[in-house]
Amino acid sequence: MLLYTPPKAAEFIPIIDLSTDALTASEAIHRACRGTGFFYVSHHGVAGELVAAQFAMAQRFFDLPLPAKMALDMRNAPSTAGYEPIGAQKLDSQDAKAAVAPPDLKESFYCMVDLPDDHPMSQRRIRGFGHNQWPVELPDMRPMLLDYQKAMQQLGNRILSLLALSLSLEESWFEKHYQMPVSTVRLIKYPPQPGDAQFNQIGAGAHTDWGGITILAQDDVGGLEVRNTDGEWLIAKPIPGTFVVNLGDLMARWSNGIYNSNLHRVNNNMSGRDRYSIATFYSPNPDALIEPMPTCISDDNPQRFAVCTAAEHISEMFKRSYGYAAGQTKDDRVPAA
């Protein structure tokens, strides 16, 4: 468990203008990914009205009575789409046996790749694909989130093309790995930090993301903190009109450790208000083989990680974080070892 220590004010999480030429943007991304693994993107092409609508919908959803939300319990669906109550996840788990870490002080709603139950990907019971659960009280929630999910996929593809260029690969290098991507939109609400919180318990414990890239929309409350390569915690303040982008574990493995999947956390202890964020986890095809990119392995930088599929890594991390295997529902799941 990582003990909580105060962060420093951020001075060097860069803002990357996506309207600039690809070479300039990719060089800036390379510098950011060698440091914090975090950067902001501006002039990204996503309408501000679409983003604002998601925040309004998030507030409407989390304001529903608890029984209405629990009717959408994520454990109902093999895809793990649906509602996660406060305390259901434990992100601060630096190893599989870190049972002393307290649960997170947040609640969330997962929107997965929306597929019918008879679709082959749904029948494989892989996390991220299949049946989404929607509140009957909010009939406009489904089309609104799916529109946002589509916009995030388009933005994600743009960022991936720049990441490829930043590693001296062809701009289209990731396309074959993202033909059936996992595109998970997660609405998250962090209540103000309570006075009776457990030792070292915050909104989201220190963790790395598990997949390819994460695209985060923040409200104006703040609370996201990022650890740099010197081990210092930086404040990733909200900047209007931007998204925060960070790399997940799969990108760190793909780049053979050249790029970082850095620790971050959320501590809503300053505002006295609820904090809302919308995270889109954009990850490769479940069967994508994660092995070093050709430009990232050499005699000086030999292979650092075992080869795995995207699904294998993400499933293991889900099991550590939630205590059961993805693909199991409340009726058939068993506790994680």
Residue 333 lies in a domain: no
Residue 312 lies in a domain: yes
Residue 87 lies in a domain: yes
Extract the tokens encoding 216: 């985060």
Give dist(CA 280, CA 148) in Å, integer. 10
Task: State the amino acid at position 314 in one-letter form.
Answer: I
Q: What is the DSSP letter of 167?
A: T
How many other C-beta atoms lie within 10 A of the C-beta of residue 159? Answer: 23
Residue entry with tokens 């975090």:
38
Give dist(CA 291, CA 297) in Å, integer. 10
> With 50 as the cut, is the pLDDT of residue 303 above it?
yes
Q: Is the backbone of residue 68 left (phi > 0), alpha (psi -120 to 50) or beta? A: alpha
Alpha-carbon separation of residue 34 from 18, 103, 138, 232 (angstroms): 19, 30, 42, 15
| Residue 47 contacts residue 274 (beta carbons within 8 Å) | no
| Residue 274 contacts residue 191 (beta carbons within 8 Å) | yes
- The count of residues in the chain is 337
Is 301 strand, coil or helix? coil
Extract the tokens encoding 248: 């997940």
Q: What is the pLDDT of residues 91-148, one digit of tens each?
A: 886 544 445 788 999 999 999 999 888 888 888 888 888 889 999 999 999 999 999 9
Residue 228 lies in a domain: yes
pLDDT at 336: 35
Number of domains in the chain: 1
- Percent of the chain, pLDDT > 70? 91
Q: What is the mean pLDDT of the chain?
A: 90
Considering only CA atoms, which of 2, 136, 119 is closest in space to residue 61? 136
Helix axes 22-34, 141-166, angle to 10 degrees: 90
Concatenating the DSSP letter of every residue in 82-124 gives: EEE-TTS-----SSTT-TTSPPPS-EEEEE-EE--TTSHHHHT
| Residue 164 contacts residue 172 (beta carbons within 8 Å) | yes
| Residue 179 contacts residue 285 (beta carbons within 8 Å) | yes
Residue 327 lies in a domain: no
- The answer, as to whether pTM is greater than 0.85, is yes
Give dist(CA 46, CA 34) in Å, integer. 26
Residue entry with tokens 């930090």:
193
Considering only CA atoms, which of 237, 179, 189 is closest in space to residue 54? 189
Residue entry with tokens 């699904």:
311
Q: Output Rg (C-alpha) for the chain, integer angstroms.
A: 19
Residue 212 lies in a domain: yes
Q: What is the pLDDT of residues 200-249, one digit of tens each?
A: 889 999 999 999 999 999 999 999 999 987 888 999 999 999 999 999 99
| Residue 94 contacts residue 2 (beta carbons within 8 Å) | yes
Q: Is the backbone of residue 322 left (phi > 0), alpha (psi -120 to 50) or beta? A: alpha
Residue 328 lies in a domain: no
CATH number, domain at 120? Answer: 2.60.120.330
Is 120 strand, coil or helix? helix
Give dist(CA 227, CA 232) in Å, integer. 5
| Residue 130 contacts residue 115 (beta carbons within 8 Å) | yes
Is 308 strand, coil or helix? strand
| Residue 330 contacts residue 73 (beta carbons within 8 Å) | yes
Residue 15 lies in a domain: yes
Q: Structural domain of residue 156, as residue ranges?
A: 8-322
State which H helix or E strand residue 160 sits in.
Answer: helix 141-166
| Residue 12 contacts residue 232 (beta carbons within 8 Å) | no
Q: What is the pLDDT of residues 83-95, one digit of tens each?
A: 999 988 988 865 4
User: 332: pLDDT confidence band, cut at 50, 70 and 90?
Assistant: low
pLDDT at 194: 85
